[in-house]
């Protein structure tokens, strides 16, 4: 038996074990229900506070993100507008600068064209004056040449008296030599005559064998003379022809004209001279220097005794015309300079046009890049708007949050709530 004292009246009474156990169970169940109810209220309060806090935090974060996104959109719009304004200003400045450069270049081009016309006019006037002067000097030179020719003719008349003796000498000389030695003896005679007076009259001249047979033929000797400055003013291709009197087939001088002219042109010589002992009875060739330029340009036929006089005559004529050649070369170079000026001006036009095309292409590329930037900003704006839409959907989901949704997939919470409901049901039965 157990004794129990009533807390209100103080009466002590005894109960058996079963009664005591029932009272204890009743008290324990009542305390448990109270504790469960208290904990349920505390849990509901904490849960409500947690939900309210989560909703408040989500709402605050959402509003903050929305504000940031709006600020970024406004900033992006401002930057885009500023970039567009800056690009437009840059384009206007670039166009203004290009217009100024074009105007400046056009002015320079007009000035260059004016200077070129003046230079051409001056060059033409100077050339006309030089041509008139050269014509007058050439007339005087022709007169002087005629006088020299007359003097030479008189000198030749004095030398004619010796030709018969020299012809007889060479005929006798040829009779004593072989065919090969005949030709070589004439070449050796001309070389000896030239070397005899080289140091006195031809200090800058060369008289050498023509050994270049790459074109299939060659002359015997090439004479070239130049000034102290090294400028060549005369060149002569020499061919020596001789044969024995006993030769069965007699050659004529004209048989060698074509080949001699060919050799002269291929070796770049100005004159061609045939030193010949052929046709010894011909009054034409025995009379002195024979000009055959009516058949081949600048070609002469002489006897060996006129070898040195022929070189002297052609050399002096070339020296007399050397000044005119120099002046003509100067005029030619001036004309070339004018041509070069026009070529440079045309080259400048071409380069300017090329630079203008490159600049235009770069400007178009810059505009295309700006357009691409605008498209990129538009895509960014669309992405931000999509993010705002997602935040709106998240907010809606947060607003739809409930206890059932929170405990749907939580076995522990489901057990707790099941125990609470069971306890409530038992309490109602008690």
Angle subtended at Cα 266 by Cα 260 and Cα 269, rounded to the nearest 5 degrees: 75
Domain boundaries, the chain: 44-169+323-399, 177-320
What are the angstrom distances between the C-alpha of 84 and each of 22, 74, 91, 361? Answer: 89, 15, 10, 19
- Banded pLDDT at 209 (limits 50, 70, 90): confident
Closest-CA residue to 206 (of 217, 218, 221)? 221
- Banded pLDDT at 93 (limits 50, 70, 90): confident
Query: What is the arithmetic mean of pLDDT over 5-22?
Result: 67
Crossing angle for the helix pair 307-320 and 322-399, nearest 10 degrees? Answer: 50
**pLDDT tens column, 244-274:** 655 556 788 998 999 999 999 988 899 999 9
221-226 vs 232-241, strand pairing mode: antiparallel
Structure pTM? Answer: 0.38
Q: At a CB cut-off of 8 Å and minimum separation 6, what does 214 contact? A: none
On the question of pLDDT at 175 being above 70, the answer is: no
On the question of pLDDT at 166 being above 50, the answer is: yes
Measured distance CA(256)–CA(285) in Å, rounded: 15
- Banded pLDDT at 400 (limits 50, 70, 90): low
- From first CA to last CA, the distance across the chain in angstroms is 25
Asked if 374 and 80 touch (Cβ cutoff 8 Å), the reply is yes
Asked if 251 and 284 touch (Cβ cutoff 8 Å), the reply is no
Please report the pLDDT score of residue 261 as a whole number. 92
- Count of other CB atoms within 10 angstroms of residue 219: 24
Max mean pLDDT among 61-70, 94-103, 279-288, 401-410 falls in 279-288
> 220: which DSSP letter?
S
Please report the pLDDT score of residue 292 as a whole number. 92
| Percent of the chain surpassing pLDDT 70 | 76
Please report the pLDDT score of residue 231 as a whole number. 80
Angle subtended at Cα 222 by Cα 218 and Cα 224, rounded to the nearest 5 degrees: 150
What is the length of the chain? 430
What are the angstrom distances between the C-alpha of 29 and each of 42, 60, 424, 426, 427? Answer: 19, 45, 11, 10, 8
Asked if 212 and 156 touch (Cβ cutoff 8 Å), the reply is no
**pLDDT tens column, 24-54:** 677 676 676 777 777 778 777 777 787 778 7
Please report the pLDDT score of residue 14 as a whole number. 67
Please report the pLDDT score of residue 239 as a whole number. 92
On the question of pLDDT at 142 being above 80, the answer is: no
Is the domain defined by 177-320 classed in CATH 3.40.1350?
A: yes
- Banded pLDDT at 71 (limits 50, 70, 90): confident
Measured distance CA(191)–CA(368) in Å, rounded: 83
**pLDDT tens column, 221-241:** 999 998 887 788 899 999 998
User: For residue 299, what are the β-bridge partners?
Assistant: 272
- At 208, is the secondary structure helix, strand, or coil? strand
Asked if 207 and 194 touch (Cβ cutoff 8 Å), the reply is yes
Closest-CA residue to 341 (of 349, 106, 327, 102)? 349
Measured distance CA(16)–CA(312) in Å, rounded: 175
DSSP 250-308: ---GGGGHHHHHHHHHHTT-SEEEEEE--STT-HHHHTS-EE-TTTSTTEEEE-GGGHH
Encode 18-52: b = buried (16+ Cβ within 10 Å), e = exposed: eeeeeeeeeeeeeeebeebeeeeeeeeeeeeeeee
Q: At a CB cut-off of 8 Å and minimum separation 6, what does 296 contact? A: 257, 258, 260, 261, 272
Token pair for residue 201? 């009259």
């Amino acid at each position: 038996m157990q004794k129990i004292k009533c807390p209100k009246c103080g009466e002590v009474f005894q109960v058996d074990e079963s009664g005591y156990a029932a009272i204890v169970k009743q008290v324990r169940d009542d305390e448990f229900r109270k504790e469960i109810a208290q904990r349920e209220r505390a849990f509901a309060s904490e849960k409500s506070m947690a939900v309210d806090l989560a909703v408040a935090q989500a709402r605050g974060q959402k509003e903050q993100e929305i504000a940031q996104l709006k600020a970024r959109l406004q900033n992006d719009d401002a930057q885009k507008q500023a970039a567009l304004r800056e690009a437009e200003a840059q384009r206007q400045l670039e166009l203004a600068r290009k217009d100024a450069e074009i105007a400046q270049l056009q002015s320079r081009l007009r000035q260059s064209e004016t200077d070129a016309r003046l230079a051409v006019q001056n060059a033409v006037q100077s050339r006309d004056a030089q041509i008139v002067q050269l014509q007058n000097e050439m007339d005087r030179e022709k007169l002087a040449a005629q006088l020299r020719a007359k003097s030479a003719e008189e000198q030749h008349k004095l030398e004619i008296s010796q030709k018969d003796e020299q012809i007889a000498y060479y005929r006798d000389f040829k009779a004593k030599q072989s065919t090969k030695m005949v030709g070589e003896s004439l070449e050796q005679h001309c070389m000896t005559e030239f070397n005899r007076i080289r140091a006195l009259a031809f200090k800058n001249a060369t008289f050498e064998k023509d050994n270049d047979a790459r074109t299939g033929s060659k002359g015997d000797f090439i004479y070239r003379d130049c000034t102290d400055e090294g400028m060549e003013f005369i060149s002569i291709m020499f061919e020596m022809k001789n044969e024995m009197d006993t030769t069965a087939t007699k050659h004529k001088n004209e048989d060698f004209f074509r080949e001699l002219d060919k050799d002269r042109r291929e070796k770049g010589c100005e004159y061609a001279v045939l030193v010949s002992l052929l046709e010894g009875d011909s009054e034409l060739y025995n009379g002195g220097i024979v000009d055959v330029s009516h058949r081949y340009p600048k070609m002469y036929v002489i006897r060996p005794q006129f070898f040195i006089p022929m070189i002297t005559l052609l050399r002096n004529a070339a020296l007399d015309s050397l000044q005119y050649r120099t002046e003509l070369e100067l005029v030619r170079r001036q004309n070339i300079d004018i041509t070069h000026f026009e070529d440079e001006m045309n080259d400048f036009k071409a380069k300017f046009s090329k630079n203008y095309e490159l600049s235009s292409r770069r400007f178009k590329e810059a505009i295309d890049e700006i357009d691409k930037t605008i498209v990129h900003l538009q895509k960014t704006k669309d992405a931000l708007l999509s993010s705002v839409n997602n935040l709106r959907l998240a907010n809606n989901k947060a607003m739809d949050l409930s206890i059932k949704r929170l405990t749907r997939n939580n076995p522990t919470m489901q057990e707790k709530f099941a125990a609470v409901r069971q306890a409530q049901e038992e309490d109602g039965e008690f």
